[in-house]
Amino acid sequence: MTRKTVIILIILLFTFSCVKDVPFEIPEAKTELALFAENYPEDSLEVIISLAQTMGHYPYYNINEPVKISLFEDNNLLQEKYAKMYGHKYIDTAFYGITNFDNEMLKEGNRYQIKVSNPGYDDIEAETIKPVSVKIKSLTWKHIEGKMPEWYFDVYGSYEAQNPMGPTTEYTHMIEFSITFDDPPVNNFYQCGIHIFYDIYEAKIGYASFGWPDPPYNIVSYITPPPDYSTRAGHANEIVFDDKDFNGEEKTIKLVVPVKEIIAFPYDYIIKLYSLSEDHYKYIVSEWLYNRSKDDPFAEPVDFYSNVNNETGIFAIASCDFDTIIVNEK
């Protein structure tokens, strides 16, 4: 080793030994109101108000009361309500407000605005158009055999997917639903849901598609028991898609659900084709990207899409067409 090389190594060693750890601090940012209202026709329009705070800076108070929420249709006031507050003020950070508006007021094709006023914070506003629903043209089913798409195992985290030896059921029986509709010649955004009646209540169920090996999806928790009937809410991951590959054309999508070898009893399956606004679709996709990358330290940062004027939240109203098909092999 030359004398010059030794000198360089000594200089580098001295330089790095003098470097001190600098504490990393997250800069504080303005605390603002956040709005979340993602409405589907089965439910009332639920508006949730919370605070958007810088990560790591959580004051022991959230939202001042009262929280006034105003709903407009084409800039004409429809209704004003005050949010009901939940959580423990001055104790924890889970302090937020909720109010509900009657879904029957919301008409397809109309534009709606929300304004939130709360003492101590800037007002926030958002607007959306309730899309015109696209009608299901035909709905058929058939009983098939094969292996469920890998997406089904990945998304729903089944035992078969977690088995280190691979899926224990290579082949299974499935119902394949074919849903056909005419896509209008404008940009359209969709979400599909499959409901089934269990005993006396309706619930969404999990499904997959061979046509979409890795689709964006919306995580939904939904169940509609009759009055005075309590049950735990289920969840499903419903595929969302746009019409860029079939704009203005007839489209058939095929969805599959696993079933037993023999379908001994008839079931009513309700197929729902939701029409989303572009804002709604972009928000769902950003949430999907976030969930895919949140445990990956090397993933690119994901910006949540927002149509609220301070870029914290979403206001979206979906429309829906549905059809019911009875699955019965007897």
CATH architecture designation of domain 32-129: Sandwich (2.60)
Kindly give, in sequence order, each residue whose CB lies less than 8 Å from that of residue 252, ignoring residues fewer than 6 positions away: 178, 179, 180
Residue 52 amino acid letter:
A
Run means of pLDDT, 10 residues per run, the chain, 330 residues: 51 52 57 91 91 62 86 96 86 82 95 95 96 97 90 71 52 91 97 83 85 90 57 76 96 92 82 97 94 78 91 95 87
Q: Which string of b and e fits 164-185 if b means at least 16 CB within 10 Å?
A: eeebeeeebebbbbebebebee
Asked if 238 and 191 touch (Cβ cutoff 8 Å), the reply is: yes
Q: What is the pLDDT of residue 157?
A: 66
Q: Exposed, middle or buried by CB within 10 Å (0-12, 13-18, 19+), for 258?
A: middle
- Give residue 240's Cα distance to chain centre: 9
The CA-atom distances, in angstroms, between 209 and each of 164, 181, 232, 254 are: 24, 17, 27, 6
* Domain boundaries, given as residue ranges, for the chain: 32-129, 136-286+320-327
Asked if 8 and 21 touch (Cβ cutoff 8 Å), the reply is: no
Residue 8 amino acid letter:
I
Q: Give the other-Cβ count within 10 Å of 217's Cβ.
A: 23
In angstroms, the CA 255 to CA 133 distance is 20
How many residues in the chain?
A: 330
Kindly give, in sequence order, each residue whose CB lies less than 8 Å from that of residue 83, ignoring residues fewer than 6 positions away: 47, 49, 66, 67, 68, 69, 97, 98, 99
In angstroms, the CA 256 to CA 192 distance is 12
Q: What is the pLDDT of residue 242?
A: 97
In angstroms, the CA 139 to CA 279 distance is 28
